[in-house]
A = this chain, B = another copy of it.
């Protein structure tokens, strides 16, 4: 799957992914109203609203981006109807030719990680039939439980040509609390990175591994160091835009081939219409604002890479 992702990124010259992380407060009033008119102020109504919101944004940007990253928590908060909207969103994005990175941050003991891998990346056997419960191409994985919590995901990636991004250094303010702790002078996140490289060798694509990692845009020094430490590992970079990461800080997350990283923006794109910069689009045309914000983001990052 990393081969497909790399090809799309190269073809579009767009090392970006849009985070589909809807909150109801982001959804324009006319979509909320239509959803509540149909389903009432219910979880189903909320699910319908975020699905219609996603669909409009995807319709406006699918031709200029390689991938989307729906954050499952934003759907899970609405229970089953939220997860139905998650599934609809994934399936629609797949129809539109996008790579789906499910931001699920799962991770458990072996047999349990196996069940998550089956559900999100693989197929589950039911009698003589088999089904995909969810339909992502990549998922994010939490490494705290060690190799036997990650390996079941890799096994499914090898069977199904899928991929994972393992949390190495996350973008949030307190990520250093445990991740930066020094073990004989080496931070924990670097120990995780070394394991990611080892795991990645068992699941290679042509140039890059199907086992990628997550390094936040908010920690450029660490990103630069990790880039060198793991040359065949694709880095998923959250934290650009709303969380404070800037394009200039991100150039060192890329390899000399201009590849090796994919930068995520969520709020910066999906709530573009609420920003002064894109206010001229108006709430009705929120998806056009998202398209312009996506084009600006691509230009920002490609520009910074060209100046590198």
Closest to A119 in B: B77
State whether A78 and B127 are in contact (beta carbons under 8 Å apart), knowing that A108-B105, A148-B174 are contacts in the complex.
no
Q: Which residues of B contact A144 (CB under 8 A)?
A: 142-144, 167, 170, 178-179
Q: List 19 A-B contacts (CB under 8 A).
A: A21-B112, A41-B128, A43-B133, A46-B126, A73-B112, A73-B119, A74-B115, A76-B120, A76-B134, A77-B116, A77-B133, A78-B131, A80-B84, A105-B106, A146-B177, A149-B170, A177-B195, A178-B192, A181-B181
A256 within 8 A of B: no
**CB of A72 to closest CB in B, whole Å:** 9
State whether A107 and B142 are in contact (beta carbons under 8 Å apart), knowing that A77-B133, A127-B36 are contacts in the complex.
yes
Q: Which residues of B contact A191 (CB under 8 A)?
A: 178, 181
A12 within 8 A of B: no
A304 within 8 A of B: no
| Residue among A76, A179, A181 with most chain B CB within 10 A | A76
Q: A142–B106 Cα gap in the complex (Å)?
A: 9
Contacts A76-B116, A144-B170 given; 13 further ones with Cβ under 8 A?
A32-B127, A41-B129, A76-B133, A78-B119, A78-B126, A80-B87, A82-B133, A105-B106, A105-B108, A105-B142, A143-B178, A145-B174, A181-B181
Kindly identify, within residues 176 to 227 of chain A, every residue whose CB is under 8 Å from any CB belonging to chain B: 176-179, 181-183, 188, 191-192, 195
Q: A181–B79 Cα gap in the complex (Å)?
A: 37
Contacting A126 at CB < 8 Å: which of B41, B73, B105, B148? B41
**CB of A249 to closest CB in B, whole Å:** 18
State whether A110 and B179 are in contact (beta carbons under 8 Å apart), knowing that A83-B80, A116-B77, A126-B46 are contacts in the complex.
no
**CB of A90 to closest CB in B, whole Å:** 11
Name the interface size band of chain A: 35 or more
A71 within 8 A of B: yes
Q: Which residues of B contact A125 (CB under 8 A)?
A: 24
